[in-house]
Amino acid sequence: MSISATFAIPSRVGAIEDARRWVTGHLQPGGASADALWEIELAMTEALANVIKHAYGGDGSQRIDLALLVEDDRVEIEIVDSGAPFNPASYVPPDLEVASDRGYGVHLIDELMDEVDRQPAGDRGTRLRLVKQGWRNRQ
């Protein structure tokens, strides 16, 4: 089984639900486990929120491109923006010993996904690749 699909949303938090529905619409019929579906939905939500808040600085007039590649035991989601690039050097992981009201997004993405890769996209922007292995119910 192999699925390849693309989708685009405006850079508004209200559109994240549309992206989740799009991914679920492809993965659920393919036998996605409830756990994998939730993990993918949450990681994607965090990634899109980061693009909207940080890369685009809350500018809702921009565009976010998504690509989905589904193979037998592997789901890959690509999220491409043309906003301010993510700077790994400026990222400070959350101190999990002290509860905070912010700063968990990247931590959750890293915990939920098997692979996370960020590359520059074009002159400006970021191509984020999220990979989840073993996404289907075991037969």
Partner 1 sequence: MMEAEVREIDGITVIAPRGPLDVGAALDFRNLLTGPIAVQGNKVLIDLSAVSLVDSSGVGVLVTAHRQAVAAGAAFAIAGAVGPVGRVFEMTRTNKLLSIHASVDDGLASLRDA
Q: Is 83 a residue that touches partner 1 (CB under 8 A)?
A: no
State which residue, 17 or 73, has the beta carbon closest to partner 1.
17
- Note the maximum CA span of the chain: 45
Q: Which of 16, 55, 70, 128 binds partner 1 (CB under 8 A)?
A: 16
Nearer to partner 1, 1 or 102 (CB): 102
Cβ-based nearer residue to partner 1, 2 or 61: 61
User: What mask of x and - would describe binding to partner 1 in positions 96 to 135, judged by CB under 8 A?
Assistant: xx-xxxxxxx-xx--x------------------------
Size of the site for partner 1 (CB under 8 A): 29
- Cβ neighbours of 14 (radius 10 Å): 10
Smallest distance, Å, CB 122 to partner 1?
Answer: 26
Helices 34-50, 105-112: axis angle to 10 degrees equals 150
* Minimum CB distance to partner 1, residue 2 (Å): 27
Q: CB nearer to partner 1: give 8 or 42.
A: 42
